[in-house]
Structure 1
Amino acid sequence: MELSGTVLWGDEYEPIQGTLVVEDGTVQRLDEESTDSSNLILPAFVNAHTHLGDSIAKEAGRGLTLEELVAPPDGLKHQLLRDSDRGELVEAMRHSLRFMQETGTASCLEFREGGVEGVYALREAADGLGIDPFAFGRGETDVVEAANGFGASGAADADFSSERAAARNADKPFAIHAGEVDASDINPAIDLDPDLLVHMVHAESLHLDRVEDKQLPVAVCPRSNLVTDVGLPPVRELLDRTSVALGTDNVMTNSPSMFREMEFVSKCCDVDAPEVLRMATRAGAAAISANYGVLEQGREARVLVLDGDSHNLTGALDPVRAVVRRAGASDVERVVLP
């Protein structure tokens, strides 16, 4: 397979005109050459934090607090999940997965409620699609065997020591929400030695020092945090300390669009376009040790092709800024996934 246009190559997303050569699902090389194609070619996105079960209740819960919306066990989302028919849940998640795939997302890091059956429902929803959801299972420790890892609600909700141990014994990652509502659960979360922290809205200097010392990756979800009125994460400060990935969080309140998330964080936080694109691609892939998220020789070829001659993108002088701050679903020309 050959893809020609302006290729955002390597970890710095250097715009190089040429042809990306893919063989057997792997990036073989980039042939730098003149081409008539106006396409923009970049790594497909990795959505670093989702709750796809919420797809059954899009735009529900107007006016509710974060706790009323999502806190286990009686938040609105958990009530709706308990009451939902399995077939309806699978179909709703499938719609969200298809939307992500069609808008250039290669994988999502999904906090999957419902224990083992919840993981199976997610896999059924993804069956036959190119997008590859990474399931952080939730529930009892037995979910670790079925899932790709364990996703904890937060250190204030329960003692997750046994779940942490189960994930470590299975050599699978452990992720946990921390610092979403306030700072009180951040140190206990870090004490669990997680592989990924989610949110960190209320991270203070001590927490940032600990994150840097342990080099703990963080997934931030700024649009969701704004909607739930908990504030915005200190993205600049986190990026100065560790790897930061970008997620869209609850489908109940936000579409799982990485275009929207990138634009939002680039305009509301002190980060430049290459940093934001790295948050939306390589950082999420690295959090699960995946060999994609960047276009380099030997990487798995999960590729997004945008129409650089679309009404929206034509005339853009900076390809990376155009992708991050301007591009959208209507600009997608092609998505190459396994």
Structure 2
Amino acid sequence: MTRTLEGTILLGEEFHPTEGRLHVENGEIDAIEETQTDATDIILPAFVNAHTHIGDSIAKEAGGGLSLDDLVAPPDGLKHRLLRAASTEEKVEAMARTLQFMESSGTAAFLEFREGGVEGVEAIREALTGREIDPVIFGRESADAMRAADGFGASGARDNEFGEIREAARTAGKPFAIHAGERDPHDLTPAMDLDPAFLIHVVHPRQEHLDRIESEQLPVVVCPRSNLVTNVGVAPIRELTERTTVALGTDNVMLNSPSMFREMEFTAKLADVSAETVLRMATRNGAKLAGKEYGLIEEGRPAKLLVLDGNSDNLCGAEDWARAVVRRAGEADVKAVLL
């Protein structure tokens, strides 16, 4: 299949705005031609949502005002009770609707922490039937769930001893990731001692944690909207980006829409970082954690792309396209998604 896109292309790691044409051949970026064009479209890499809990789709906006532990702590936080009470069919249907929204709004891949053991992994695979979005599923609760999934996602070092499951994941050649530093700094060191593929949240790092993250080049996924909803604080996003690879996730569907547009805008206006940095967090950096070659526009890369209408009422007249995409664009501006 051959396809040609025209407009302003946000090229490479720095998302340099380049007027021209982009040629796609059999799902790959075949050629990029710099040339004048009348097209007003904006062409950028599709998003990678680096941390989700899609199963929470059955309980959107439940538990308003509850603490983090009361909302999501295993085994008896509200979301876990609601998940146990829902049928598999209800969970699959709700997850399928969320996946459809993510796909249509430009998300090429997501890294999912999947509750429910092996059954939970099987349920999200069923929900993915017919979808083009790429999943990276981190099973939870057991080694069997890890083996059925693409890796293991730990709740946090304060909740359990994960040494055995960490070794099982290593033996299986699968990634191990863990929540850390969400409530306080006390679980960061034991989490890092497990040699994870990446950490999630890191809201409360001390200097020794930041130094270790940098020296070990340990990637971090930040979820700022979720952290504000649960009232745990704000990660030091700028300092983290100066030290390591930082990706962006929307976290629990229970608490937030899985919209990367909303997460980018919130992050850009909350943290003192450039639009290009935020866009990289939402695209290439997440793709690196997912083990994918996409997330930026270069010849030879997979053509996982998002096309925005640069002449929409919302975007027309923008003078800085990376800044407009990050701080202003939304689902209504999406013209096409190539997955």
TM-score, normalising length from structure 1? 0.99
1:222 to 221, 224, 230: 224
Cα distance in 1 for partners of 2:74, 2:202 equals: 19
Match of 1:120 in 2: 122
Match of 2:32 in 1: 30
Match of 1:209 in 2: 211
User: Secondary structure in 1 aligned to 2:185?
Assistant: coil
2:248 to 246, 249, 259: 246
Cα distance in 1 for partners of 2:217, 2:31 equals: 31
* Contact map agreement 1:48 1:108 (CA 8 A) in 2: yes
* Contact map agreement 1:173 1:288 (CA 8 A) in 2: no
1:117, CA displacement in angstroms? 1.1
Instruction: Map residues 102-181 of structure 1 onto 2, 5 A cutoff.
Output: 102-181=104-183
Cα distance in 2 for partners of 1:318, 1:183 equals: 38
* Contact map agreement 1:2 1:21 (CA 8 A) in 2: yes
1:288, CA displacement in angstroms? 2.1
Matched, 1:255 2:257: yes
Match of 2:272 in 1: 270
Would you identify which runs of 4 or more consecutive aligned residues in structure 1 move more than 2 Å? none
1:143, CA displacement in angstroms? 1.4
Cα distance in 2 for partners of 1:322, 1:138 equals: 38
Cα distance in 2 for partners of 1:122, 1:166 equals: 22
Q: Which amino acid aligns with 1:150?
A: F
* Contact map agreement 1:50 1:109 (CA 8 A) in 2: yes
Cα distance in 2 for partners of 1:234, 1:78 equals: 29
2:61 to 55, 59, 62: 59
Match of 1:198 in 2: 200
Cα distance in 1 for partners of 2:118, 2:134 equals: 18
Paired residues in the alignment total 337
Cα distance in 2 for partners of 1:26, 1:161 equals: 40
Cα distance in 2 for partners of 1:155, 1:145 equals: 21
Q: Which amino acid aligns with 1:75?
A: G
Cα distance in 2 for partners of 1:298, 1:170 equals: 31
Give CA-to-partner distance per residue, 1:4-56, whole Å, 9 cap, x none.
Answer: 11000111101101111111111112111111110000000000100011100
Instruction: Map residues 3-14 of structure 1 onto 2, 5 A cutoff.
Output: 3-14=5-16
Cα distance in 1 for partners of 2:107, 2:169 equals: 26
Cα distance in 2 for partners of 1:27, 1:203 equals: 40
Match of 2:71 in 1: 69
Of 139-148 and 61-70, deviating more is 139-148
Cα distance in 2 for partners of 1:33, 1:169 equals: 51
1:315 to 317, 322, 327: 317
Match of 2:328 in 1: 326
Cα distance in 2 for partners of 1:92, 1:293 equals: 27
Cα distance in 1 for partners of 2:304, 2:328 equals: 21
What are structure 2's unaligned runs of at least 5 residues? none
Match of 1:97 in 2: 99
Instruction: Map residues 274-285 of structure 1 onto 2, 5 A cutoff.
Output: 274-285=276-287
Instruction: Map residues 77-92 of structure 1 onto 2, 5 A cutoff.
Output: 77-92=79-94
1:299, CA displacement in angstroms? 1.1
Cα distance in 2 for partners of 1:274, 1:50 equals: 23
Q: Percent identity?
A: 62
1:186, CA displacement in angstroms? 0.3
1:142, CA displacement in angstroms? 1.3
Match of 2:301 in 1: 299
Q: Which amino acid aligns with 1:52?
A: I
* Contact map agreement 1:266 1:276 (CA 8 A) in 2: yes
1:187, CA displacement in angstroms? 0.2
